[in-house]
């Protein structure tokens, strides 16, 4: 099956610094990628939809200036957490849609996640 990678797998940063997380579709092109965050023992909450070549669509309550998303190519989306604070510590998971055939059928593949700890 298709593979989605994330880098780094874990990162520790100091409060006030910015952190960039990469999401790559390794063997397919993804016009649409998604970013989720997951707090301990909780479900995945969709943060934003990342569209190649256009601005990301953010879910209600997600600060677009704090969580910058760039989808510069068909295989790469990045999430930058700006001016990180301890409350941003979380598990961030990306996913990518792979179109199946010529219709509107998609398969969604998830990355392994990135654990961010802000001290």
Partner 1 sequence: AQSVAQPEDQVNVAEGNPLTVKCTYSVSGNPYLFWYVQYPNRGLQFLLKYITGDNLVKGSYGFEAEFNKSQTSFHLKKPSALVSDSALYFCAVRDIRTGGFKTIFGAGTRLFVKA
Residues making contact with partner 1 (CB under 8 A): 6, 32, 34, 41-44, 46, 49, 51, 57, 91, 93, 95, 97, 104, 106, 108-113, 115
CA distances from 116 to 29, 79, 103 (A): 26, 12, 37
Tell me how far, at minimum, the Cβ of 31 lies from partner 1, in Å. Answer: 9
- Tokens 């200036």 appear where? 65
Cβ closest to partner 1, residue 16 vs residue 27: 27
Helix (H, G, I), strand (E, B) or coil at 46: strand
Q: Which C-beta is closer to partner 1: that of 81 or that of 93?
A: 93
The least distance separating partner 1 from the CB of residue 37, rounded to whole angstroms, comes to 12
Query: Phi and psi of 86, rounded to 5°?
Result: -55, -35
């Amino acid at each position: 099956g298709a593979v989605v990678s994330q880098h780094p797998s874990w990162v520790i940063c100091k409060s006030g610094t910015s952190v960039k997380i990469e999401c790559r579709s390794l063997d397919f092109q993804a016009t649409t990628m998604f970013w989720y965050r997951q707090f301990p023992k909780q479900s995945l909450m969709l943060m934003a939809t990342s569209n190649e070549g256009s601005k990301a669509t953010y879910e209600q309550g997600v600060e677009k200036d704090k969580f910058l998303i760039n989808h510069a190519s068909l295989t790469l989306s990045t999430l930058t957490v700006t001016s990180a604070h301890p409350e941003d510590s979380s598990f961030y998971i990306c996913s990518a849609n792979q179109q199946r055939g010529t219709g509107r059928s998609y398969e969604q593949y998830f990355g392994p996640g990135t654990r961010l700890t802000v001290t």
